[in-house]
Amino acid sequence: MKLRSEPRPDDIEAMRRWFKSLEDCVNAVDFAAGRPLFAEDMIAFGTFSDFVAERDDVERQQWRNVWPTIRRFHWRLADVKGIVANDRLSGTGLAIWDSDGFQEDGTRFDRRGRATVAFARQAAGDPWVAVHTHMSLFRGTPAVSHGKFSGPAG
């Protein structure tokens, strides 16, 4: 039994815009600009905590431990997949990213991973807001990056 229909292209494009906005925030290490992309009462799975509830805690426990340590974070936007509810008020976006991570000695490594993001919005056509994120590194990728950056990636 099939339970989902093909999402509208504009809904998937809105997911791509959300992922691109997050990419820009990560690369700029701009936490304030990233906050509106996420619901205040979001829940996340994290590298540093099993469950993290509330956007402020996600920022403190996840974003601040990752964003300043990586460079050249990039979603594969053309490959974003999505599932959208028939009322178009909730959806799930799936994406793969590439970035540079750094060993303790400063050696760069490929830091690639995937994400599942649950989205919600007040009205069809509004921008998506993340209510849940699950981001994980691909197998074999070091769990921690040791870079120390404070601004835009070069």
- In tens, the pLDDT along 87-130 reads 999 999 999 999 999 999 999 999 999 999 999 999 999 999 99
Domains for the chain: give ranges and CATH numbers: 9-137 (3.10.450.50)
pLDDT of residue 66: 95
- At residue 83, what are phi and psi to the nearest 5 degrees? -125, 130
Note the pTM of the prediction, 2 decimals. 0.93
Rounded-to-integer distance, Cα 74 and Cα 3, Å? 32
Structure confidence at residue 59 as a pLDDT band (50, 70, 90): very high
Average pLDDT in the chain: 93
- pLDDT of res. 152: 58
* Reported confidence tier of residue 77, pLDDT bands at 50, 70, 90: very high
Question: What is the separation of C-alpha 32 from the centre of its chain, rounded to a whole number of angstroms?
Answer: 15
Sign for the CA dihedral angle at 46, 52, 53, 59 comes to negative
The amino acid present at 61, given as its one-letter code, is Q
Q: What is the mean pLDDT of residues 55-77?
A: 96
Instruction: Show Cβ contacts of residue 54 under 8 Å, excluding neighbours closer than 6 positions.
Output: 40, 41, 42
DSSP tag of 1 = -
Strand residues in the chain grouped as ranges (E)? 38-45, 51-53, 71-75, 81-84, 90-102, 108-110, 113-120, 129-137
Question: In the structure encoding, which two tokens stand for residue 26, read together?
Answer: 């990560």
pLDDT digits (tens, 9 = 90+) for 17-54: 999 999 999 999 999 999 999 999 999 987 667 789 99
